[in-house]
Structure 1
Amino acid sequence: MEQKMNSSMWVLGLVVLALVASPVNAISCEDATAQLSPCLLYLVGNGDETVPAQCCAGAQALNKIVNSQSDRQTVCECFKQAAPKIGAKVDRIQQVVKTCQINIGIPVDFNMDCSKIQ
């Protein structure tokens, strides 16, 4: 348990550093993953069967800051790489999009071509 807490604190520290170092008006992968961190257990199939309220809050916050084509492409590449690595399930990602009523113009597919996102 203590080792798990130490790794969580380390990851949180990296996220905070990434957020502080992020350029103004541009989203980074770290920004996006930080917003969706409350979704992690749900996305990998652990925890609740329904999308947690905190997950929707983070997804909706992300939706509000993804304003440009460049932002959408950055988020797309981030999730294209990160989601399979953490074991996120496509059906759970789709459920977050539907339940939280978000649309940032990114298809839910691990094989998507992010350069084609408008």
Structure 2
Amino acid sequence: MKSSTQAVPLLAILMLVLLVSPPSVAALTCGDVVRDIGPCLNYLKSGSGTPPPPCCTGAKTLASAASSTADKQTACGCLKTASKSMNVNPATAKALPGNCGISLGFAIDPNMDCSTIS
């Protein structure tokens, strides 16, 4: 009998902790994004046609890693910043996911509003 009366307050505390804990945050970092897309840099600056296999491998890794909304928004923001600072060809960047046969769930676009990604 004593153990059941102790379990009720413990359960209530556990439920309270779950209710007030912060929402999940992105597990993906800009370092991860840059590492995955790094093999695409030359292609994104001056390439055309089919991206090189290491580029598509990295893009596929990124697509797999960016599964949650928070991760997609992080990846979008990182790619947006990187594309502006590295002077990539916007058309090539937008076409990259399709050319690699993947979907990121957002466009690689220096003008993308990453907060609209769901």
TM-score, length of structure 2 as denominator length: 0.72
1:60 and 2:60 aligned:
yes
Aligned amino acid, residue 30 of structure 1: G
Equivalent residue for 2:77?
A: 77
2:94, 2:109 within 8 Å by CA — same for their partners in 1? Answer: no
5+ residue gaps, structure 2, are: 1-25
Identity of aligned residues (%): 35
- Cα distance in structure 1, aligned partners of 2:46 and 2:91: 10
CA distance in 2, matches of 1:90, 1:96: 10
Distance in 2, Cα, partners of 1:37 & 1:68: 22
* Residue 45 (structure 1) aligns with: 46
Name stretches of at least 5 consecutive residues in structure 1 with no aligned partner: 1-24
- Report runs of 4+ in structure 1 exceeding 4 Å deviation: none
2:21 aligned with 1:30:
no
Contact 2:76–2:108 under 8 Å retained in 1: no
- Aligned residue identity for 1:94: K
Letter in 2 for 1:102: I
Normalising by structure 1, what TM-score?
0.72
The CA RMSD over aligned residues, in Å, is 1.6
